[in-house]
Amino acid sequence: MNRALAQAVDIGDDELVSLAEACRLFFGGRLSPSSLRTEAAKGNLVITQIARKDFVTRRDVEEMKEKCRK
């Protein structure tokens, strides 16, 4: 198992991770933080902002995937 996947397994459904971490852990680096911000602007992803830093949870990402499914 690769390191990113191993770390993703350890992250709870409601644990906040940065957008960069989410891209690496949940998408294998195939998306950028900008891509996630675009999905948030379209209403597909909930982003939590704390001290001007953006975070998402595994649950937020899974819900986004369902909304984006065609």
The one-digit pLDDT tens for each residue of the chain (70 residues) are 556 555 556 899 999 999 999 999 999 999 999 999 999 999 999 999 999 999 999 999 999 999 999 7
29-39 pLDDT tens trace: 999 999 999 99
| Global model pTM greater than 0.75 | yes
Cα separation, 51 vs 61, whole angstroms: 21
Burial of 70 (0-12, 13-18, 19+ CB in 10 A): exposed
Q: Kind and range of the H or E element at 43? A: none
The pLDDT, as a whole number, for residue 2 is 58
Q: Kind and range of the H or E element at 42? A: none
Q: Which phi and psi (to 5°) does residue 3 adopt?
A: -60, -45
The pLDDT, as a whole number, for residue 54 is 98
